[in-house]
Amino acid sequence: MDGPRLLLVLTEAPPSVGGMQTHARHLASHLARTSAAIEVLTYRVADPALAAQAQAFDAECGYPVRRILSRLGYWHNIALILQRIREFAPDAVYASTVFYGLLRTRTAVPLLCRSVGNDILRPWLGYPYPLCSRAIGSQAVQRGLRWWLEHGQHPDWVDRVFRRAREQLMRDAAAGHCGILANSEFTAGLLMGIGIARERIDVVSGGVDSRRFAPSPGGRESSRAALGLAPDDVVLLTVCRLVTKKGVEVLLDALTLLQSAFPRLKLIVVGDGRRRKTYEARAKALGLEGMVRFAGRVPHDDVPPYFWASDLFVLASYESRHAGGAVRDVETMGRVLCEANAAGLPLVATASGGTPSVVRDGVNGVLVPPADAGALADAIARVLHTPALAAQLANAGRARARDEFDWSAVMARHEDAIARALRLPTLAVPAALAQSSRA
């Protein structure tokens, strides 16, 4: 092929599940078809069960995957990536976070990255110092801390101890990229807040297979039957990790306000997380046990029928804080909103973080203030009581999913960004970046 040789540093990759992993899978698969050659670098997998799944994925994906990076040893990762640059000789390096822009001080290869905002808000750079980075980044240490590292169960004091050093590294690294693809205007604002010029940022929201999520004739009836739902049930759906920022307790409170108007109302919660037991207990305390179904973790390939069986999608996210209030956690885009649009499902979401980059209020969804159960209940009732509005939102959502959020559109924007990076002249290294590299 005539395309470039690309080294992809995808810190979150399949077979583990999540938004970044989904993006990584589609990006690598697309670039493997359109580039001269690609190679993927990602984290080592310490969990034996996941390691077996990773080995099976790597054998079938069609491009080389090197699981050599550490979740702890940042500077050791820099050394490993530099070694692969020398051996693979890529035309450009693409990273899934801003963290590896410091490579610019040590190589002339163009660097660009994607930011989903959380790399700015709470930069997970593990151990951020050069001293002992190789030892701390070793397989033995990662195996010892396997659950903690791979399931995000680290206590808040860890963030507090390393926060200042991690934030400085993140800022310096972000400055080293030729261009950054932000997943929302919210994320673009975060990047500008740390000194990245607006002209170096492309906002590319979305990432959905619109054809796969599109409802088929009879899909509603068959999906409802498979999920044990009655034809006259009024079904709300939310798909999210069960963590604080998703606002599931606000949605449960809104449900109590809707009970009398919609006696057949049901809520299906697809997803799992550390707050599941808390939300289940809250639903019980509110007398919602018969209305709410916690479906748990569902493989991504099995999620579309949940959309097809539902009447309305709801995302009740709000900004939360941890590590003594110093670390923000917020919805920076909301890929599930793109999926709801693709599935032809009207939606109500909170205007929190990056959701307004996906949802245009009154066009492909309804936006309400975050953490306001009353406003959320009113918006849900308005859409359910107004079939014309629901149809309008669904139709506009399908159009946006097809034209803007589909992987074909997202990948075209990535190809454009890579092409621009390859055309740029070699950039001078800022003094602050050079100083950080010598640290």
Per-residue pLDDT tens digits for 226-241: 999 999 999 999 999 9
Q: Give the rounded percent of residues in the chain with a pLDDT score beyond 90.
A: 77
Over residues 191-220, the mean pLDDT reads 95
**Residue 387, preceding bond cis, omega within 30 degrees?**
no
Q: How far apart are CA 379 and CA 347, in angstroms?
A: 10
Per-residue pLDDT tens digits for 314-325: 999 999 976 555
Given a cut of 80, whether residue 151 has pLDDT beyond it is no
Contact 279, 252 (CB under 8 A): yes
Q: How far apart are CA 236 and CA 377, in angstroms?
A: 12
Q: How far is CA 167 from the centre of its chain?
A: 20
Q: Where are the beta strands (DSSP E) in 262-353?
A: 265-270, 292-296, 312-315, 320-322, 327-329, 347-350
Largest CA distance in the chain: 66
Long-range contacts made by residues 76-82, C-beta under 8 angstroms, separation at least 24? Answer: 76/133, 76/134, 76/136, 76/137, 77/137, 78/102, 78/103, 78/106, 79/134, 80/41, 81/7, 81/9, 81/41, 82/106, 82/107
Per-residue pLDDT tens digits for 60-108: 999 999 999 998 899 999 999 999 999 999 999 999 999 999 999 999 9
Over residues 206-225, the mean pLDDT reads 94
Strands 179-182 and 265-270, how do they pair? unpaired
**217 or 205, higher pLDDT:** 205
Average per-residue pLDDT for the chain: 91
Given a cut of 90, whether residue 137 has pLDDT beyond it is no
Cα distances (Å, whole numbers) of residue 38 to 6, 32, 59, 85, 230: 5, 6, 15, 12, 49
Q: How far apart are CA 299 and CA 135, in angstroms?
A: 36
What is the pLDDT at residue 126?
A: 84
What is the pLDDT at residue 131?
A: 84
Which of helix, strand or coil describes residue 179? strand
The model's pTM: 0.91
Per-residue pLDDT tens digits for 9-41: 999 999 887 789 999 999 999 999 999 999 999
Q: How far apart are CA 339 and CA 315, in angstroms?
A: 12
Q: How far apart are CA 73 and CA 78, in angstroms?
A: 9
Contact 1, 34 (CB under 8 A): yes
What is the pLDDT at residue 125?
A: 83
Q: Which two tokens stand for residue 50?
A: 């996941």
The answer to which of 44-48, 317-321, 434-438 has the lowest mean pLDDT is 434-438
What is the pLDDT at residue 152?
A: 54
What is the pLDDT at residue 52?
A: 92
Q: How far apart are CA 343 and CA 113, in angstroms?
A: 29
| Residue type, position 35, single letter | S
How many CB atoms within 10 Å of residue 59?
A: 9
Q: How far apart are CA 345 and CA 331, in angstroms?
A: 20
What is the pLDDT at residue 49?
A: 83
Q: What is the dihedral of CA 275, 277, 283, 284, to 10 degrees?
A: -160
Q: Which two tokens stand for residue 91?
A: 């035309």
Q: At what angle do helices 248-258 and 373-385 cross, to 10 degrees?
A: 60
What is the pLDDT at residue 159?
A: 65
Q: How far apart are CA 245 and CA 352, in angstroms?
A: 10
